[in-house]
Amino acid sequence: MQVEQMYLYKAHEEEASMAAKATTTIRQVMHYQPEHAAWFAANQVLFNQVAAFYFEVIQAHEKILDLGDQDALPALEKLTHATKKNPHPVMPLSVIGKEIPAMFRRAAIHAALGSARSFYAHLKKWRTRRANLLAKGKKFLERPPVPPRSWNKSATFYFGQWKERTSSSILLKVWTGSCWSWLKVRLTGRELPNEAEVGSPALVRRGKQWWLHTPVEKHFQRPPKIETQVTTNAATRICAVDLNLNEHLAVCTVQTVEGTILATRFIGGGREISGFRKRQLGRIARNRAKTGILAENEQDNAALWRKIRNADEQIAHLVSARIVQFTQDQGASILVFEHLGNLKPEKGKYSRRGNSKRAFWMKGRIFNFAKYKAWNLGILTSRVNPHHTSRECARCHSLIFRYAQGHPIEGYTPGTPLCLCQQCQMRGNADRNASLIIGQRLIARSQEPFKEKPPAPARRAGRVEKSTGVALSQEAKRKKGPSLSDAWHGDDNAHGTAQEGTLWMDERPSAIPTQLRLPPE
């Protein structure tokens, strides 16, 4: 995933060229004799030994990281690989093994470089944070990042280590534990696409089964920029997404540039994931109370943390896939979210705080996954200013009431499902309204690129979140339409519990086609 995203962003950066590319991984099951599984394992062990060796070489020669990969590779080989011209390298690779093929070595060097770059980038950030805090005379307690203690990377096969690839088989040169041997394996599963550029395959173990993962790059015509699409075609369709921490993890609306609302989709499952996470966090908290252990990676809680991480990741994939599917089904070419803003720390029990933090992170993941999946389909993704997106009426831009079914229709209770605009009588689902506003912001920004500026940090602070009686901010005031600010007079009775109510008439969320499957507890 990380590698895929790296390619994705690289593609986004290549503004000048008209060609764009997207990277996906083709996963194929390998069919082999049972005894060959031990070879693949031995091959992976050697690969990691060589990678770990090169990580140490880089640690001993940090300057190498100033070079690009193209130059770092020969520099590292000069330090390690004996040749006629270079008979006594400083740190000979021969301590690991005498006959390591060049392409195997280079793939391992590449893996080591990747890890080293990531490690030193984290270390640099840590040093900066420490320097900043110490300069202010504060204590700095955060532990520094540590280099990888164990290496468990999948072995990448550069060409030369593989050959004769067909749609159903490949020849791989593997370390058997005692020698190098060519082995033919049969492949089933998704075939490599014809028009794509095929990258180096990797041998990946999933449980007891070995898979061949092959990155493929698809090239396509770069879609026109968002500004161009919005300003040149009033029929351009935009899918706007409001991400939430409540039951509806995502509410999507599709509208055209000229403002016709075409479709709405509610993506649920929030309560289930939240309940699941809370139960696991509760267990972790109880374990901690027993043992007094605080570190996240302590063994007794490691399985519980893994469960939470897996569930979060899975939900983020599911939700982002549904968002992108809906976008594509509706013929939208632009996908828009709001910026996440800052995490507002919650008070309360450990499980509650931890849960809201992870829910917040999940929003970021959903965005990243959706952006990547959308790009593969030629759909562009953007984000807009989140200021007041859930307070403004999507029809007339006045301030809305937000409330729960059965409660007084007044004020603004965050998290409640319903909204009413007193000015134009629009009523409906509050998250759907927010989603429409998000879409409108993108349109407005694209049409007048210099008018919408990000808010000053002070103004974004949760001033308005706290009470219902606050007047409109300047930003909302300069929006067209009559302002309701005068009608808002500090009535503070909207602080009841955010109770879930039924939704308004036609705003009923669609049924969720597949239930989220969380791992057994």
Judged by the rule CB under 5 A, the positions of this chain that interact with Zn ion are: 393, 395-396, 398, 421, 423-424, 426
Question: CA 166 → CA 186, 187, 496, distances in Å?
Answer: 9, 9, 65
Burial of 516 (0-12, 13-18, 19+ CB in 10 A): middle
Single-letter amino acid, residue 483? S
Q: Residues for the chain: how many in total?
A: 521
Give min distance, CB of 247 to Zn ion, in A. Answer: 25
Nearer to Zn ion, 318 or 393 (CB): 393
Nearer to Zn ion, 48 or 398 (CB): 398
Give min distance, CB of 500 to Zn ion, in A. Answer: 24
Nearer to Zn ion, 20 or 393 (CB): 393
Q: d(Cα 26, Cα 505) in Å, to the nearest integer?
A: 44
Give min distance, CB of 317 to Zn ion, in A. Answer: 36
Give min distance, CB of 392 to Zn ion, in A. Answer: 9
Give min distance, CB of 481 to Zn ion, in A. Answer: 8
Nearer to Zn ion, 268 or 411 (CB): 411
Q: d(Cα 319, Cα 325) in Å, to the nearest integer?
A: 10
Nearer to Zn ion, 12 or 479 (CB): 479
Nearer to Zn ion, 374 or 484 (CB): 484
Nearer to Zn ion, 423 or 435 (CB): 423
Q: Tokens 């996470």 correspond to what residue?
A: 277
Q: d(Cα 174, Cα 180) in Å, to the nearest integer?
A: 6
Nearer to Zn ion, 247 or 392 (CB): 392
Give min distance, CB of 239 to Zn ion, in A. Answer: 22
Strand-pairing partners, residue 218, are 22
- Please state the φ and ψ torsions of residue 438, each to the nearest 5 degrees: -60, -45
Tokens coding 178: 């005692």
Residue 138 CB partners (closer than 8 Å, separation 6+): none
Give min distance, CB of 7 to Zn ion, in A. Answer: 44
Nearer to Zn ion, 238 or 484 (CB): 484
Let me know: does 169 contact 184? Beta carbons within 8 Å. yes
Nearer to Zn ion, 413 or 423 (CB): 423
Give min distance, CB of 427 to Zn ion, in A. Answer: 9
Give min distance, CB of 425 to Zn ion, in A. Answer: 7
Residue (of 400, 499, 480) closest to 440 by Cα position: 480
Q: d(Cα 254, Cα 248) in Å, to the nearest integer?
A: 17
Q: DSSP of 131-196, one letter per residue?
A: HHHHHTT----PPPP---SS--PPEE--BTTEE---SSEEEEEEE-SSSEEEEEEEEEESPPPTTS
Give min distance, CB of 114 to Zn ion, in A. Answer: 52
Q: d(Cα 1, Cα 24) in Å, to the nearest integer?
A: 9
Single-letter amino acid, residue 410? E
Helix 270-291 and helix 299-329, axial crossing angle in degrees, nearest 10: 170
3-class state of residue 400 by DSSP = coil
Tokens coding 487: 């009608």
3-class state of residue 220 by DSSP = strand
